[in-house]
Structures are given as C-alpha cells and as structure tokens.
Amino acid sequence: MRYVLDSCVAIRWLLQEADSDKALRVRDDFRGGLHELLAPDVFPIEVAHSLTRAERQVRITPTEGLNQFRDMLATLPDLHGYLPLLPRAYQISSQARIGVYDCLYVALAEQEGCALLTADDGLIRSLQATFPFIVPLASLP
C-alpha cells in the first residue's frame, strides 16, 4: 500500500499511545517493503517537536527522546518538499479552517493519488467527508 504518513502516526512508533500496535505494524511493513510511505519534508520537524514535548511532560527522558529521534531518522518516509504543496495546503486550510501543517499532508496525498494515514481525530472529522482518501489509523486491522 502507498500512504502519506502523518507525523502523528510515526510518533506512535516511538511513544506508547492509542493504536501504537497498528502504527508499529505499518512501520515494520514499510521496513519490509510492503508499504511505500511519503510525507512532506516538515515530517521530521513535527516528530522532533512531539518528542521534545514528551520530554517536557516527563513522559520520556532527553536521552530516550534523542534515541527515539535517531530511530525515526533511520526509518524516514520519502520526503517531498513542502513549498510546491503550500498553495493547495493554504487553500484547504482556509476553506476548512484547520492548520496548514495538517493540510500539507492532505495536499500531498491528493497530489500523489494515495491514502493519507492519520491518527488525528480532528483532521478526520474535519476533512474525511471532503477527502475520502483520509484513512484513520484506528481503522487498520
């Protein structure tokens, strides 16, 4: 399967959260060549932000965060530049009244003609009716 991978799914590779087991299966299938994963090139920045937030919340130590960040860098999806996606992401964001960062993932999936795999319930509620290629991580077996 070919997915645009939302950073909130990747963070479930690194931190124990709801549906982490499903996220880890996606990662392992990607590593095994069963899935092709794509993401805007802001992806590693968003994952790093989530890890440092988990450090501030004392969910992980700085050493654990750095190790997990390095693990994520070893399993990066195919990164696509955000600048060509930005005009469409802006348009989606403006119409739907949601964040531009989230809309970069939607714009990439739309451009590439593939599914967007996300664990972001707000994104799913706001956009799945308009963009049926948005697939909730929770819906995976």
Give Cα 29 to chain centroid, integer Å. Answer: 16
The three-point CA angle 114-118-123 to 5° equals 105
Distance between CA 104 and CA 90 in Å, rounded?
Answer: 8
Average of per-residue pLDDT across 14-38: 96
Residue 48 has a pLDDT of 97
Average of per-residue pLDDT across 25-37: 96
% of the chain beyond a pLDDT of 70: 100
Average of per-residue pLDDT across 27-42: 97
Average of per-residue pLDDT across 1-8: 97
Residue 35 has a pLDDT of 94
pTM (whole model) above 0.85: yes
Distance between CA 66 and CA 45 in Å, rounded?
Answer: 13
pLDDT tens, 35-86?
A: 999 999 999 999 999 999 999 999 999 999 999 999 999 999 999 999 999 9
pLDDT tens, 101-139?
A: 999 999 999 999 999 999 999 999 999 999 999 999 999
Domains and CATH numbers, the chain: 2-41+77-139 (3.40.50)
